[in-house]
A = this chain, B = another copy of it.
Amino acid sequence: MSSVETLVDRARAGDPRAVARLITLVESGDSALPQIAALLGPTSVKARVIGVTGAPGVGKSTTTNELVRTFRKLDRRVGVLAVDPSSPFTGGAILGDRVRMQDHATDPGVYIRSMSSRGHLGGLAAATPAAVRVLAGAGCDIVLVETVGVGQAEVEIASLADTTLVLLAPGMGDAIQAVKAGILEVADVFVVNKSDRDGADATYRDIQGMIALGERAAGQWRPQVVKASAARAEGIEGIVEAVDKHHEWLARTGELVRRREHRAASEIEALVLAELRARFAELPGVGLQELAAQVAAGELDPYAAADRLLDEVSS
């Protein structure tokens, strides 16, 4: 039995160290990834994936922490992936909100893990679903994917979730920012966190107003808005209720299957493109670097260069 087989078997049996080790392999883009995916098999598609996102300071980690507690009371096994989209330039990032979830450190029904995209060929778009599969294979019913900040990367990761929670806080002017960042379109449930603070009602009304203005076809999901104060453990049941309601809607309408097929298509495509990109570097003929030098010097136009590269890849 290979060491990877042993690891997968141990992860299946719920060994947290084996789970951690597998996610490390996934994160580093290890060559054993295809084998891990094959060994994890069909069980790995059954977990519900819930995205938790929002601007820095809205209380994502605190809310995630309380969600874990509530799901555990309902006896569901929970995995948490805290995703750091990283700088594309240094591979590093300054994090203000690394997971503070020591509460669950001794609970065998909870796996918590920070992730970065460092070194992974397909980036987080490929690493995150692979890590979700590991957690699902280890028996998690629910995987919470917490993303830092709000931006393009977060929108992409949100699209990997069955249900996406967008957190807001009073007085951050983030309703407008949310619309600008395309967040309105990805949110299934809005949480107005810190709702004990001044301005919570205004934020609640703002976001309700924006939802009312948004165009939706008949039968489409209308985003729910929930007030909470995660730091006081208030309103968490309301969030879980909204999430469950959304999940029922997904299942009833067939949208769950559609979302998961869309997610699978994105993942396959990311893997194929990453593989092709790796092949560019090893082409026997005129490589990408040489073509790029000719384009930069004005000796070749980029479309002609792309044609030549395509010929080499396909031959």
Q: Give which listed residue, B129, B130, B182, B289, contacts A87 with CB less than 8 A.
A: B182
Q: In A264-308, which residues have CB < 8 Å from any B CB?
A: 264-265, 267-269, 271-273, 275-277, 280, 288-289, 291-293, 295-299, 301-307
Contact string against B for A residues 138-182, beta-carbon threshold 8 Å, 1 for contact and 0 otherwise: 000000000001011101100000000000000000001001111
Q: Given the complex, which residues of B lie within 8 Å of A13, measured CB to CB?
A: none
Copies of this chain present: 2
Give the complex CA separation of A24 and B293 in angstroms. 28
Give the complex CA separation of A88 and B181 in angstroms. 9
On whether the beta carbons of A152 and B88 are closer than 8 Å, the reply is yes
Chain B: minimal CB distance from A93 (Å)? 7
Chain B: minimal CB distance from A5 (Å)? 15
Binds B, one of A30-38, A197-205, A234-242, A244-252: A30-38
- Interface residue count for A (Cβ, 8 Å)? 72
Chain B: minimal CB distance from A53 (Å)? 13
Q: Determine chain A's interface SS by DSSP, over half rule.
A: helix
On whether the beta carbons of B152 and A38 are closer than 8 Å, the reply is no
Is A257 in the interface zone, CB < 8 Å from B?
Answer: yes
On whether the beta carbons of A296 and B149 are closer than 8 Å, the reply is no
Further 14 A-B residue pairs, CB within 8 A, beyond A45-B297, A87-B185, A268-B295: A42-B298, A45-B296, A45-B298, A46-B298, A90-B185, A130-B302, A261-B289, A261-B295, A262-B292, A264-B292, A264-B296, A268-B292, A271-B302, A273-B273
